[in-house]
Amino acid sequence: MDGNGRWARRRHLPRATGHRAGVSTIRPVMEACHAAGVHILTLYAFSTENWSRPRHEVAALMQLFGDTIDSEVGEMNAEGIQIRAIGDRSKLSPRLQKKVRAAEEVTSANTRAILNVAINYGGRHEIVAAVRDLAVRGADLSQLDTETLSGALYTAGLPDPDLIIRTAGEMRISNFMLWQAAYAEIYVTETLWPDFGAADIDRALAAYARRDRRFGAVPDAAALVEEAVVAPASL
């Protein structure tokens, strides 16, 4: 959800106001995703690196997370949305941890859509935490395979993301789902997160629909040509 700071700066407003404006984007984006048949959405709200921002900005963000849970969870629950948090929540204040846990618990049986909120999340940290967790549970790490590691990540049980949308024009992954993003399609838009909306989701999904996802294989047409060249007698 990048670009909140720039959105605020352009209006001569404090950065925290940009983050608050960013919260208003969440609901229309979720609705647009749902209308398009996308039922799992992850929002990158706070990275493990975001602690290095000025103290007052971090405090404003933490306050905003709590306020957003208070103001949104009731309605999301009524709409059948399951809320999950991914990331190292042990560094959040006990009060915020409690709110996050309560939001997860109250929505845990919902099946209409899943909203994953990445908070104090970092892809590198996630992988290290998963391996440590396996070691602590006595797993034989010399036999570690991709399925076992996937099952120890915060996203265990969820499919890998098909599409990652980055707002505000940055061309980098910023420690987001490093493992799970192996074959994700990436869509970058100049639109700042507070200005992002249903039309942008539609544009991103239209671009996604034009992608040729090969997961490392050759395109279908190339495979057919190769087959014809290698085995002409069979034609």
From the list 44-52, 98-106, 176-184, 212-220, the region that binds ligand FPP by CB under 6 A is: 44-52
Question: With respect to ligand FPP, which residue has the nearer C-beta, 71 or 108?
Answer: 71
Of 14, 31, 40, 50, which one interacts with ligand FPP (CB under 6 A)? Answer: 50
Identity of residue 138? G
Token pair listed for 24 = 């208003």
Of 16, 23, 33, 201, which one interacts with ligand FPP (CB under 6 A)? Answer: 23
Cα separation, 115 vs 121, whole angstroms: 15
Residue 98, phi then psi, degrees to nearest 5? -65, -40
Residues 75-134 that bind ligand FPP (CB under 6 A): 117
By CB neighbour count within 10 A (0-12 exposed, 13-18 middle, 19+ buried), where does 185 fall? middle
Residue 9, phi then psi, degrees to nearest 5? -60, -40
From the list 4-12, 28-36, 120-128, 203-211, the region that binds ligand FPP by CB under 6 A is: 4-12
Q: Which of 4, 50, 195, 202 is catalytic?
A: 50
Q: Is 70 annotated in the active site?
A: no
Question: Binding residues for ligand FPP, how many (CB under 6 A)?
Answer: 19
Question: With respect to ligand FPP, which residue has the nearer C-beta, 50 or 150?
Answer: 50
Which residue is listed with tokens 């440590």?
132
Task: Find the helix or strand (DSSP H, E) in which 74 lies.
Answer: helix 55-78
Residues 151-210 that bind ligand FPP (CB under 6 A): 168
From the list 43-51, 99-107, 122-130, 201-209, the region that binds ligand FPP by CB under 6 A is: 43-51
Nearest distance in Å: CB 17, ligand FPP: 11
Q: Is 140 annotated in the active site?
A: no
- 11-39 exposure pattern, b = at least 16 Cβ within 10 A, e = fewer: eeeebbbbbbbbbebbeebbebbbeeebe
Cα separation, 85 vs 120, whole angstroms: 10
The neighbouring-strand residues paired with 42 are 116
**Residues near ligand FPP (CB under 6 A):** 1-6, 19, 22-23, 43, 45-46, 50, 61, 64-65, 68, 117, 168
